Every structure is written in structure tokens, then in C-alpha cells.
Amino acid sequence: MTHDSGKTWSKIVNGLRGYVHVVVEDPKQPSLLYCGTELGFFISFDAGQNWTDFRLGLPPLPVYDLKVHARDNDLIIATHARGFYVLDDATPLQQLAEAMNQKVALFPPSRGTRYNRWMDTSTLGSRVWVAENKPYGSIISYYLAEAAPSGKVKIEIATGKTIRTFDGPGARGLNRAVWDLREDTRLKNTQDSEGMWGGLQGVRVLPGEYVARLTAFDQTHEQKLEVRMDPRINVSPDDMNEYYKATKRLTAMQLAISQSLERIRRIDTQLTDAQKTWSDAEAVKQAHDIQKGLSDVRDDLTVPRYFPEHLNLLIRVGQLTEEVGNYSGRPTLAQEEYIGVFEGQVQGVLKRLNDIVTGNLKQLNDRLAAAHVPNISPQSELAETN
């Protein structure tokens, strides 16, 4: 390295292996250097005084060129014979030296872009070579001076109120988590929610400004987070607001169906187990009637796909949620109409379930209480998340 246009030089080889092909200075942090050698990729945080092997799983292959992308701030690594590698978002590297003076540091998250994911290689033959895509959503990077006691940290996304909470890794050093640009589902997945078309997922958020919040070691740190629409899509804010309202209605139906199925499962299991110890024939008959009613409700909520005599609300609502939710714009008139139809059908089926609980099941529990026999709990163990 020279600081006087070549009059004097000093060696900066401590930690390097293999002869050097390229050295690049980070455009935002001059003391951060990247180096490609015949045996891999190295990084220095102190202007070359010390180098660290930073292959992160790359084989020890020749690295011929390096570039920090001006728009996305990704580090692009060009190799010989193994193609290109991309280290998504170099921000943590650029700010690591300062962060290491703290116990906890949250770096500015990468911008999240809303786009529709789809892949079909069925027509491209059997020799399609593709790499893993960049994670969908916003990458949230942070530094921990020591490992979190529980092995994880708490991450929240907020807009004034918290709309998503999830765990991130809590290892010592640099960590990363990815927010998929969705709100909380508010409900833990169940066997039936997993069977929904597309699964039980939270609503995709609208473009705008959000806050990423990290909690670790009784410290809370915040950074602004931007979500943008796919720049190839031109859609009005009004249309996106209608999209958001429609997907919220559909998600509410999915949640109600999932909760009700769990409630039915719990009541039915209790009744089956309890009857093994009952000697009251009338109580057993009442239990059978309740189970028949629960079975009829369950069949309208979820049955194998093509049973036209049943409503199949789990599948139908799930399919409509997938269609509306994976579009960026106002739902069609037909979709709006079907949302209303399904809301009415869901409310009708859930009223039947409530009538069973407040009618026949209550009568049975009154009978069991008079005989000093444990009753049947009508509540679901399926709890909503915060």
C-alpha cells in the first residue's frame, strides 16, 4: 500500500493466502477493503493491516473481480469457473467497526420490494442451473457482542403499532433475519390451516415507511425500514387500499375457520375420551348427538377438495385469498362479490357451531355437573399471537 503516489510502500499481506487478483476499497467505508486471490475472498476492516478469510461457504476458488453495487449496496464477487456470487447488503460490514463498540447494534435494514414470486422451469429441460434467490422481503442485520441467553432475539415491525413479531438468531457477532413483508397471522398454524390454499399467512403490507425494532439484553434499538412496490407496476394508492381491505377480510375468515376447526377437534376429543368412563346412557346419547352436529359443521368447513354437497369453505376461501392476495391492485367485481358470499356462509356455519355449544353442549355439561362429573370445555386451546 502506498499513501504518497508510490514513493514508499508497506506490505498489507497479514492473513492473505494465494496471489492477489483484485483489491477494492468500499465506496462508503474507506478502511474496509475487499480482496480476491487465487484461493478465495478476504476482507479487512483496518485498511489492510489484517485480513480475514470471508468466503462464508465459498470454495477456495480464484476471485477475479469485486464490486459493491451502487444501487443495492450488494457485494458482487466474480470467480473463475464458478460464476458470480452475491453477498446481499454490505451495510453491516460497512458499519461493523463502530458497532463492535456496543453490546447490541441494529443496522439499517435493506429496502423491501413487493413483487410476486413465481418459478416454472418445466419447459427448460433437465439441465437448468440456477442459484438461490435473494431472500424475499427486507433483510434485518444486527450485531451482538455475546450470544443471547435464549439463543434468539425479538424483532418487531411497527407503523405506530406493532404489526409483526418474530424471533431472530441470537449468536455472537453478526446475525440476520428476514421480514417477508407480511403482518402477523395472529394465529398459530394448525393442521387445518396448513391445508389452506397457500397456507395461513398474514396480509402483505402496503408500500410505505415502517420501523424495525430489535430487543436483546434488555436493550431496544430501532431503524427505519422502507417497503416499495415493484417498480415495474403502476398502481394507485386507492386501489392498493382496496386490495388491503379485501385481503384483511379474507384473512379474518381464514382465522375464524381455523379457530373453529380447532374448537371442534378439542370438543370432539374430550367427548370421545369422556364417554369411556360414563355410565349414564342419556349422557352418552347426548354426546353422540353433539358429535354428529360437530361433524356436519366440520364437513362444511373442510372436507376433501371436490365434494359439491359441502361448502368446502377452507379450500374456497383459501383459493380466493391466494388469487386476491397475490395481485397488486383492486380486486375484481366478481372477487368482491365472492368475498361477501363467503362471509355470509362462514357466519352461517359458525352460528351453527355456536348453537351447538350454547345449546346441546351446555345441557350436557349441566347434566354432568349435577352428577359431579368433569364437564366438557367448549374453548379452543388455539391461542392468538400478539
**What are the pLDDT digits (tens) for 31-65?**
999 999 999 999 999 999 999 999 988 889 999 99
Residue 48 lies in a domain: yes
Instruction: Return d(Cα 111, Cα 108) in angstroms, integer.
Output: 9
Do 21 and 2 fall within a single domain?
yes
Name which of 140-149, 236-245, 281-290, 301-310 the model is least confident about: 301-310
Do 40 and 100 fall within a single domain?
no
Instruction: Return d(Cα 286, Cα 110) in angstroms, integer.
Output: 59
Residue 165 lies in a domain: yes
Residue 383 lies in a domain: no
Residue 22 lies in a domain: yes
Nearest to 165 by CA among 145, 146, 188, 148: 188
Do 61 and 104 fall within a single domain?
no
Do 96 and 228 fall within a single domain?
yes
Do 98 and 224 fall within a single domain?
yes
Instruction: Return d(Cα 33, Cα 385) in angstroms, integer.
Output: 44
Do 182 and 97 fall within a single domain?
yes
Element (H, E) at 92: helix 91-99
Instruction: Return d(Cα 37, Cα 51) in angstroms, integer.
Output: 12
Do 52 and 149 fall within a single domain?
no
Domain boundary among 214, 234, 254: 234
Q: How large is the average pLDDT for residues 135-160?
A: 96
How much is the pTM? 0.85
Do 108 and 225 fall within a single domain?
yes
Do 108 and 228 fall within a single domain?
yes
Residue 316 lies in a domain: yes
Enclosing domain of residue 29: 1-87
Contact 187, 382 (CB under 8 A): yes
Q: How large is the average pLDDT for residues 125-136?
A: 77
Do 285 and 347 fall within a single domain?
yes
Q: What is the mean pLDDT of the chain?
A: 91
Do 261 and 360 fall within a single domain?
yes
Residue 297 lies in a domain: yes
| Number of domain units in the chain | 3
Residue 377 lies in a domain: no
Do 167 and 259 fall within a single domain?
no
The per-residue pLDDT for 193 is: 45
Contact 58, 85 (CB under 8 A): yes
Residue 24 lies in a domain: yes
The per-residue pLDDT for 187 is: 55
pLDDT in tens, 79-123: 998 889 999 999 999 999 899 999 999 999 999 999 987 766 677
Domain boundary among 234, 259, 292: 234
Residue 172: give its domain's CATH number. 2.60.40
Instruction: Return d(Cα 342, Cα 254) in angstroms, integer.
Output: 11
